[in-house]
Structure 1
Amino acid sequence: MCRNIRQLHNFEPPATSEEVRAAALQYVRKVSGSTKPSQANAEAFAEAVDEVAAAATQRLLGQLTTAAPPKDREVEAAKARERARARYATSG
């Protein structure tokens, strides 16, 4: 999976449409091999992002169930920062 695509399921508050679209954009970029499509491909690129966001991602998030309590975005962000700090810390 692309590292820039973040988990969107089981958060409180739920993922926003902007977060869903950002994940769809990253997916389409990865699949197409292009971060910015040419003018000739711009329409197909935009349609793919819209379809992935609405059709697949929103539907999936709406259908997933879990017994786990929702995660707190701030707590998860702090954990990620700590993992990054540990990963990139230099030994001196």
Structure 2
Amino acid sequence: MLTDAMEAWRGAGRQVNGIRGVWNEGDLDSNLQSLNAAVQMGLTPQQAVWHTFTGKFARRNGFTRATIEPDFVAGNPGNFTEFFVTFS
């Protein structure tokens, strides 16, 4: 799904400048679970975002920066309940 979207934008000559991850608890919380697991293993949140599905996808597509949006982070490290990050 993300790969298709990326290819469609690039195929249309559009530049993709970033990917925003908006992760929270619920049915589609695999990124949040991966983030929390990596933090519980000793990584910082800044390092842990790259261990999520979206982080791996972003890296494969040439994005090298992850900016955490602290105003939109809820919970404690290793037990986040909401987390916003932008890969660029």
Q: Hey, which of these two has a bigger chunk of helix by percent?
A: 1
State whether TM-score is above 0.5: no
TM-score (norm 1): 0.28
Q: Which has more strand, going by share of residues? A: 2
Higher radius of gyration, 1 or 2: 1
Q: TM-score, normalised by structure 2?
A: 0.29
